[in-house]
Amino acid sequence: MEEDPRIADLGFARVDVDRARRTGDAEVVYGAGKTPGQVIAILRTLHERHPERAVLATRLSEEALAQVATSLPEANVDAVARAATLGPFPEARGTVAVVSAGTSDAPVAAEAALSIRVHGAAADVIEDVGVAGLHRLLAVRDRLEAADCLVVVAGMEGALPSVVGGLVGTPIVAVPTSVGYGASFGGIAALLAMLNSCAPGITVVNIDNGFGAGVFAARVARRAAPVP
Amino acid sequence: MEEDPRIADLGFARVDVDRARRTGDAEVVYGAGKTPGQVIAILRTLHERHPERAVLATRLSEEALAQVATSLPEANVDAVARAATLGPFPEARGTVAVVSAGTSDAPVAAEAALSIRVHGAAADVIEDVGVAGLHRLLAVRDRLEAADCLVVVAGMEGALPSVVGGLVGTPIVAVPTSVGYGASFGGIAALLAMLNSCAPGITVVNIDNGFGAGVFAARVARRAAPVP
Amino acid sequence: MEEDPRIADLGFARVDVDRARRTGDAEVVYGAGKTPGQVIAILRTLHERHPERAVLATRLSEEALAQVATSLPEANVDAVARAATLGPFPEARGTVAVVSAGTSDAPVAAEAALSIRVHGAAADVIEDVGVAGLHRLLAVRDRLEAADCLVVVAGMEGALPSVVGGLVGTPIVAVPTSVGYGASFGGIAALLAMLNSCAPGITVVNIDNGFGAGVFAARVARRAAPVP
Amino acid sequence: MEEDPRIADLGFARVDVDRARRTGDAEVVYGAGKTPGQVIAILRTLHERHPERAVLATRLSEEALAQVATSLPEANVDAVARAATLGPFPEARGTVAVVSAGTSDAPVAAEAALSIRVHGAAADVIEDVGVAGLHRLLAVRDRLEAADCLVVVAGMEGALPSVVGGLVGTPIVAVPTSVGYGASFGGIAALLAMLNSCAPGITVVNIDNGFGAGVFAARVARRAAPVP
Amino acid sequence: MEEDPRIADLGFARVDVDRARRTGDAEVVYGAGKTPGQVIAILRTLHERHPERAVLATRLSEEALAQVATSLPEANVDAVARAATLGPFPEARGTVAVVSAGTSDAPVAAEAALSIRVHGAAADVIEDVGVAGLHRLLAVRDRLEAADCLVVVAGMEGALPSVVGGLVGTPIVAVPTSVGYGASFGGIAALLAMLNSCAPGITVVNIDNGFGAGVFAARVARRAAPVP
Amino acid sequence: MEEDPRIADLGFARVDVDRARRTGDAEVVYGAGKTPGQVIAILRTLHERHPERAVLATRLSEEALAQVATSLPEANVDAVARAATLGPFPEARGTVAVVSAGTSDAPVAAEAALSIRVHGAAADVIEDVGVAGLHRLLAVRDRLEAADCLVVVAGMEGALPSVVGGLVGTPIVAVPTSVGYGASFGGIAALLAMLNSCAPGITVVNIDNGFGAGVFAARVARRAAPVP
Amino acid sequence: MEEDPRIADLGFARVDVDRARRTGDAEVVYGAGKTPGQVIAILRTLHERHPERAVLATRLSEEALAQVATSLPEANVDAVARAATLGPFPEARGTVAVVSAGTSDAPVAAEAALSIRVHGAAADVIEDVGVAGLHRLLAVRDRLEAADCLVVVAGMEGALPSVVGGLVGTPIVAVPTSVGYGASFGGIAALLAMLNSCAPGITVVNIDNGFGAGVFAARVARRAAPVP
Amino acid sequence: MEEDPRIADLGFARVDVDRARRTGDAEVVYGAGKTPGQVIAILRTLHERHPERAVLATRLSEEALAQVATSLPEANVDAVARAATLGPFPEARGTVAVVSAGTSDAPVAAEAALSIRVHGAAADVIEDVGVAGLHRLLAVRDRLEAADCLVVVAGMEGALPSVVGGLVGTPIVAVPTSVGYGASFGGIAALLAMLNSCAPGITVVNIDNGFGAGVFAARVARRAAPVP
């Protein structure tokens, strides 16, 4: 097993360097629970195998963000998204609009936007358009319709995807966030609301999972705008 | 205890005939788990004590609705609300708008509307204005603003109160309904959404509790429109 | 409000006949809780407004299926999916593969397949390829890669989407089903597994919601195969 | 969108300065997750737009409370409520009695009382009248009846609203608090008790949501005491 | 094992006929899931071993109640409690007051009262004294104080034990009932309220478990009134 | 209200100094969330009103325990129970055996034992007799039978009360503890096990509530051993 | 795919006839949700492929049990286990003791015992040895020690595996059953208790899953008693 | 009780030194909640009674690991497993393969492997073979088949045991880990997936309970490879 070229064995991890061949997208470093040194080592390994396109590390601690900036000066560190990339972004094919309800949802929206760009689509970020002030949302209807896919981010009661889903027919990936208190249960209230949306054409990812929504939406957008 | 004039002992129940004196509103027959005969007996007792105003029985089975219609021909039987009243409605003071999201929410909205009328306010019923078609809601904005209190009824993701709460400043009582399937948990998803609404000025009652919302809203409306 | 041309008021329901203009897809009849007569009336109304493309009714009872077959002989009744359509299917653009784990998942898979066809894409149905016999799944890898979007249906532990997501890069919509017993909680175990998948690029819909998955996936497939 | 006069774009947030026109009450700063500098900036913006009436910031950290006191010396800082206001309180119309069960409920009761005053009603605070010593509650019955609306705050088993609801007919907004331990689940036990109250005329807000209860109750009280 | 005199092997069950020697109280027939014939056979066996004192069968179906009445004419059948006894009640030592909140709680209260009598104490039944009408409860304070133990039965918000616990110092066993709807979860709301009571000296049994409360309370009462 | 002799108003709390008259037992200081100074002030107030018997403060922080020891040198500080008493213990009437499963349950058992002594009964403490080593439990059967009431403390699977309940007929108050990890949910697993015990005659208190179990059990024991 | 010899395509199901080769045990018919005709067809197919050893169908309805008995007279129908087998039992290697707590657990214990025999081990069934009468369990200690693996079946508080695990060192598979009421949640209370057992060496299967426990235990027993 | 030779009373704990005689395996120190001094004292006591075989302490804090290394230099400290042993490992009989899905599962896998060795079997550790890269798992199929028992460790969606269970017939003990975020609920999602696995022959232990899985699997492996 040790010599399988599809696996890069770093001792503390066995990286799946074959994933891009199978699925079109390289493996990503999930930073939670990893030391800064481990994050940097895996990023370097992935970058060596995929020098032509950006590789991504998410869920980085303050300490990891700082060490990545120091050790990998060519890396792109996104403090809001708590993530970093190494290597050039691929050319964008198709556009994903990232729509968020409130200012507290910004980190999740930023993680989604960065993931979209790493995975080869453009991101159009539209923030602070929650349902308690509908005029803010109605004003951007054109951008919602122009996108190839939507990532809609909301905490608390999670109503935004339903309202968007009644306005336009673009495919919607809803991301519940852990914003809230009391009986919001760290995002469960928003997650349930999104799963039970009365508007059709809405799918959902896990709480705060901007990365997963971004990967999925980029894949949809890329297919909608094939290489000429 | 047996001779306490504040209690009417029917053998199978000891009715609190003092409640109207203490709280301004008579006791109500909660029909679930009671036989048609018991419902009729309590309705008669309450009517004797309060001949000048309608008394109410809720959550009646098909059988109870039929027997009430037969045994108490002067009663008003509301099949949609699964409820019945005996005696004249009091003069209405103030108005409550009852707003519901979908056709499946009709029984809860009807229970709320009837409870409002029994408790001395007018009910303006606005149905089928869910958030997946916002134009239906925006078209009735004037009626929402004209009311003294709103009862907003919705199942599934329960987003309607948040949207209404962003449009007008009228006090809102939100009623989650058990409409839905899968991870809606018999109305829990809608209940949580309403408790976590991003719009201020919203309070919530139990799932399918049109009666409780109606009593509360009628009290608010009556106070907003005092007797000249 | 009564004369709004965007609403067809049938007395018991106010149908949103404007939805196709806004979102590209017509409203659908959700049959649960509606009488056969109501289902037929709404189907007819929607068909009149959209004669050129099939309209859909889902979650039909045995009785409703039978009455639709009798009253609307031109309707297409799908007993496995518990659904019916009226009008010709639109020309298919793009393909969605519907992959299911076990025989008990068949009704949900059928609802998804029918919804895909009604919403303008082709459906390639692949059944009974659960993870306890991986050879069945590996044998259809080409069909998974050829599709523009995947709908993956599974109950019990809901592991199938994760395994598929490790094999191909096609966007995956996972549908948990209520198949199971004991601590499966009517599909909650599968739902949670899918939300927590270790494979990226997976989104989820509510339990047993083949319809929602189908609408979403058809929209993705249509965008991937635009009209020449 | 950038020039919409209904929105004040501060870079990190887009404040809905149109809300007072739509709903009669200005937007409020929800301090959780915001830096002290952000809180102060939004407070200043709201104060500029609404100089004639107090604007409110809630859920402030110790640090934010201190910095508000330093940077905005004209602000009113309420340490128990963990909140601050800027600008003069509006003239009070109507009265809300804030009733709490135990000393641990004081912060939530204080947040409710401050929110009531900011939103234009008077607050009559009645503390430490839990149901395990009924004489304390019976002694204040007159004040309960004199109010236009009640906010009833309780943790643990959340029984106080039911007992109050049996004594008087004033509309009751119940606020569960996260006071308790073991199987109280951070206030869920009290929340469920209040939703299931056997006394009619009770509505509920989210756990610890003194602000929401205060806004709602002030709106009810204002309507009950219209301007002459 | 077959010849162990402490066990009566009936084929379908191995009855623990040694329990009275160990614990002072004979085994009881839990009727749920047993056929009428099985119930009767076990009752007879227990009666033969303990002819001097009543033996008890609980949770009997309609059919089992009828067959017991026919096959064991000397049995005492209690239709409200859905239970039956065979043999003479023991002489009562001490008194347990059984206090219930509403008429729907009657079956659980009746099961508790019968269990108390079978286990050798007197039962003083006080019904329909819910907290929404406190005067009914205050009127019976003397009986609460005179008892050796209290069994307090309530559904919905389960507030009654807390109020009783603030009035008297008698030990209280609280019994939540499955009375309610919506977010009452079949008695969970009342169970949590009772576990979180702010009044000390309250213990709790499972939902609808009048039998368990009765056995426990009878043991307490017997000890408080020893044989002279 | 201010001059009600039944209430001692300390500004930050209104102490119910009438409780001993009503229920036989004085109010207790629940230390969680209170400052050391508040704890000491309430202890002093209660001690002045009840100089002849110990008063109790529970759930004290490390800091509060230290300050009580310094400021009230005559107080009895119990570090294991995290509690303190002021004044002489009353003469003990009756005995409660406190039985615990493991060493981690010691703080809850100690709180129960101290509460028993403060409330006028003797405590016989039996530790570390979990069901995975039955010989330890069988060896103390005499002490279990000799007690007037049992308090049985266990975490993890909470099986100890069921086994004890099969051995002796003494009334059992079960206390689940938050000892455990994974799917023990902070004591919920043990709580559910105890509520569902197959042995009759068992009641339950909230998780970690040694105090409540102690008060209840002392009341039972006192009644079983009346003053001659 | 259609001609894959590892799959038997019956139209309504694609049976994995390769499983015995891969795992040593043939596929089993899970009868829930299948028609009697489907059950019989799959049983026949499996029997043809594996004529030398019994094949199994579980979770059969009353109707399916009857039709199997009629259509497959050579089948062995076990009414208690709600299961049927076709073909001769394999020679038993090793022994599994199936231990159950109460009479209501009999169906699950029977399903386990039958599954053990089908999968090649002997089953020693020990019923009705719940923890509320320990003498019944202690009397069979020799049989517990003699077995190669134990399947311990219990509902309600699920304490039996912990007690057995303290007595002997035989590997224990615990099976929670849905026996109970109130806060037992259909077996969840027992499941949690078993997962949190204080005795080491215990593993758990899903609620009522006697089949899964039987397969696992038979595999363990077979390995402990290899063919000479 | 004090002189029972089966118990070693250390004051703060009463160690069950009879367990090895009853069950074949000595008691283990569960380090959570114990001071380093207590851990060392119990380890020493157990080592004195069982000098011929290693004794184990698990769930050790950083501080405890350090003090054990200092005070017991002959101890074996395993930092990844957060555990320590004292005394020589017994000769291994049989082999358990420990299979884990991701790098974050390493501590649980290490605890399992160490527990297996302490309890007398060999451990073959196979890491980082999650289902999103099936080739990694298929490459080690021979080792899975060669083992006497498998311990399969996975977090997130917990799919690995189902896939392994479809590949080989070796008995599988599944260990869910608390790896994940959002709606993974600290391992509950993986736990439910494992309990609901579609592959037969899988049992489950509590979340993160590598120790329990290891003890069980070692017992199975030892029986499969008896002493000649």
For E195, name the nearest residue in chain F, comparing CA atoms only: F206
Exposure string for D23-57, b = 16+ CB within 10 A, e = fewer? bbbbbbbbbeebebebbbbbbbbbbeebeebbbbb
Predicted confidence at residue H227, as pLDDT, reads 61
- The answer on pLDDT for E13 being more than 80 is yes
Q: Nearest by CB to B28, which of D22, D195, D200?
A: D200
- Given an 8 Å threshold on Cβ–Cβ distance, is E219 in contact with F169? yes
> What proportion of chain D, given as a percentage, has pLDDT over 90?
81
What one-letter code names the amino acid at A135?
H
pLDDT band at H55 (very low <50, low <70, confident <90, very high): very high
Query: Is the per-residue pLDDT at D209 higher than 80?
Result: yes
Select from G100, G181, G185 the residue whose CB has the most chain E CBs within 10 Å, as the one to mutate to test that interface. G181
The percentage of residues in chain H with a pLDDT greater than 90, rounded to a whole number, is 81
Q: Which residue among E130, E132, E193 places its CB closest to the CB of D157?
A: E193
| Nearest CA-CA partner of F137 in H6, A103, E96 | H6
Tell me whether chains A and H touch (3+ CB pairs under 8 A).
yes
Does the CB of A66 have a partner CB in chain B at under 8 Å?
A: no
Q: Which helix (H) or strand (E) segment is B198 a member of?
A: none
Q: CA-CA distance, G148 to D144, in Å (whole number)?
A: 71
C-alpha distances out from residue D199 to B26, B54, D159, E174, Å: 12, 19, 11, 20
Task: Report chain E residues whose CB lies below 8 A from the CB of G144.
Answer: none
pLDDT at A52 over 50: yes
Whether residue E226 is predicted with pLDDT greater than 80 in this model: the reply is no
Token pair of F69, please? Answer: 């020891």
The pLDDT tens digits for C202-219 are 999 999 999 999 999 999
Read off φ and ψ for residue F161, nearest 5 degrees: -60, -35
pLDDT digit string, tens, across residues A92-102? 999 999 999 98
pLDDT at E101: 94
List of chain F residues whose C-beta atoms are within 8 Å of the C-beta of residue H33: 104, 179
Q: Quick one: pLDDT at residue E1?
A: 40
Q: Answer whether A162 sits within 8 Å of B101, measured CB to CB.
A: no
**pLDDT surpassing 50 at residue G1:** no
Q: Name the band, by pLDDT with cuts 50, 70 and 90, for residue H1.
A: very low
Interchain proximity E1–G139, CB inside 8 Å:
yes
Judged by a CB distance cut-off of 8 A, whether residue H154 touches chain G is no
Does residue A2 carry a pLDDT above 50? Answer: no
> Residue A176: in which H helix or E strand, if any?
strand A172-176
CB contact under 8 A, F219 and E204: no
Task: Look up residue H18 and give its two tokens.
Answer: 């009879």
**pLDDT greater than 80 at residue A178:** yes
Report the share of chain A in percent with pLDDT over 90: 81
E206 and F195 within 8 Å at the Cβ level: the answer is yes
Distance of CA C2 to the CA centre of its chain: 32
Across the range E180-208, mean pLDDT stands at 93
State both tokens at B23.
């709280």
Nearest CB neighbour to E169, from listed F24, F166, F195: F24
- Please report which confidence band the pLDDT of residue A89 belongs to, taking 50, 70 and 90 as the band edges: very high
State the count of interchain CB pairs (< 8 A) between C and G: 44
Extract the tokens encoding C29.
């009849």
Contact between A216 and C196 using a beta-carbon 8 Å cutoff:
no
> Residue C205 gets which letter from DSSP?
-
Average pLDDT across chain E, whole number: 93
Question: Could you tell me the maximum CA-CA distance found in chain C, to the nearest angstrom?
Answer: 59
Q: Is pLDDT above 70 for H39?
A: yes
pLDDT, average across residues A35-62: 96
Percentage of residues in chain D having pLDDT higher than 70: 97
pLDDT of residue E91 exceeding 60: yes
Q: What is the pLDDT of residue D33?
A: 86
The neighbouring-strand residues paired with B176 are B154
**H165–G203: do the CB atoms touch at under 8 Å?**
no
The mean of the pLDDT values for chain H is 94
What pLDDT is attached to residue C6?
Answer: 87
pLDDT digits (tens, 9 = 90+) for D98-107: 999 988 999 9
What pLDDT was estimated at residue F189?
Answer: 96
Chains A and E touch each other (3 or more Cβ pairs < 8 A)? no
Note the pLDDT tens digit of each residue in E148-180.
Answer: 999 999 999 999 999 999 999 999 999 999 988
Query: Rounded to whole angstroms, how far apart are CA atoms C167 and F76?
Result: 68
Q: Name which residue leads in pLDDT, D33 or B156.
A: B156
Closest alpha carbon within chain B to C18: B133
Kindly give the confidence (pLDDT) of every residue in chain F, 228 residues in length, as a single tens digit, with 9 standing for 90 and above: 446 888 888 988 888 888 899 999 999 999 998 999 999 999 999 999 999 999 999 999 999 999 999 999 999 999 999 999 999 999 999 999 999 998 899 999 999 999 999 999 999 999 999 998 888 899 999 999 999 999 999 999 999 999 999 999 999 999 999 988 888 899 999 999 999 999 998 999 999 999 999 999 999 999 998 665
Q: Does A225 touch chain D (CB under 8 A)?
A: no
Minimal CA separation from G74 to chain F, in Å: 41
| Minimum CA–CA partner of D133 in chain E | E166
Tell me what ipTM this predicted complex has. Answer: 0.94
- Classify the phi-psi angles of D12: left when phi > 0, otherwise alpha if psi is within -120 to 50, otherwise beta: alpha
The per-residue pLDDT for range B143-167, each reduced to its tens digit, is 999 999 999 999 999 999 999 999 9
Nearest Cβ partner for F7 among D103, D132, D136: D136
The token duo for H184 is: 């993974």
Query: Average pLDDT for residues C1-7, to the nearest whole number?
Result: 71
pLDDT at H228: 59
B203 vs D19, D168, D203: nearest CB: D203
Rounded to an integer, the average pLDDT of A177-186 is 89
- Chain F positions touching G163 (Cβ under 8 A) are 131-132, 134, 159, 163
pLDDT band for position D181 (cuts 50, 70, 90): confident
Subunits close to H (at least 3 CB pairs below 8 A) = A, C, F, G
Residues C144-181: pLDDT tens digits?
999 999 999 999 999 999 999 999 999 999 999 998 88
The amino acid at residue F85 is: T
Q: Is A223 on the interface with C (CB under 8 A)?
A: yes
Asked if the Cβ–Cβ distance from A193 to B159 is below 8 Å, we say yes
- Is the Cβ of G161 closer than 8 Å to some Cβ of chain H? no
- pTM for the model: 0.95
E193 to chain D: which residues are within 8 Å by CB? 157-159, 189-190, 192-193
Q: What is the pLDDT of residue E182?
A: 87
Asked if the model's pLDDT at residue A226 lies above 80, the reply is: no
What is the average pLDDT across G160-178? 96
pLDDT at G7: 87
State the average pLDDT over residues G187-195: 96
- Chain B residues 11-40 within an 8 A CB cutoff of chain C: none
Distance from CA of H135 to the nearest CA of F (A): 31
Q: In what order do the strands lie in the sheet with A55-58?
A: A29-30, A55-58, A83-86, A76-78
Output the six-digit token pair for F93. Answer: 């009437």
Q: How many CB atoms lie within 10 A of CB C63?
A: 11
Give the position of tokens 């509590």.
Answer: H206
Q: Nearest chain C residue to G15 by CA: give it.
A: C128
Residue of F nearest to G195 (CA): F183
pLDDT > 90? residue H190: yes
- The per-residue pLDDT for range D54-77, each reduced to its tens digit, is 999 999 999 999 999 999 999 999
CB atoms within 10 A of CB A66: 14
The whole-angstrom separation of Cα D184 and Cα D195 is: 15
**Over 90: is that where the pLDDT of B207 sits?**
yes
pLDDT at C1: 41
| pLDDT score at A1 | 40
- Whether residue C18 and residue B179 make contact (CB cut-off 8 A), yes or no, is no
Q: Cβ distance B127 to B109 under 8 Å? A: yes
> Which residues of chain C make contact with A224, given a CB cutoff of 8 A?
220, 223-224, 226
Give the closest of G1, G13, G16 to C139, CB-based: G1
Q: Nearest CA to B208 among B150, B128, B154?
A: B154
**What pLDDT is attached to residue D183?**
87
C-beta atoms of H34 and F179 within 8 A: no
Model pLDDT, residue D75 = 97
> What are the backbone angles phi and psi of residue C196, rounded to the nearest 5°?
-105, 20
Size of interface A-D (CB pairs under 8 A): 43
* Predicted confidence band of residue E110 (pLDDT cuts 50, 70, 90): very high
With bands split at pLDDT 50, 70 and 90, how would you rate the model's confidence at A3?
Answer: low
Q: pLDDT, tens digit, for every residue of H76-135?
A: 999 999 999 999 999 999 999 999 998 899 999 999 999 999 999 999 999 999 998 888
Q: Which of C198, C206, C207 has the most H C-beta neighbours within 10 Å, making it the best mutation to test the interface with H?
A: C198
Question: Could you tell me how many CB contacts below 8 A there are between chain E and chain G?
Answer: 44
- Is the CB of D186 inside 8 Å of chain B's CB atoms? no
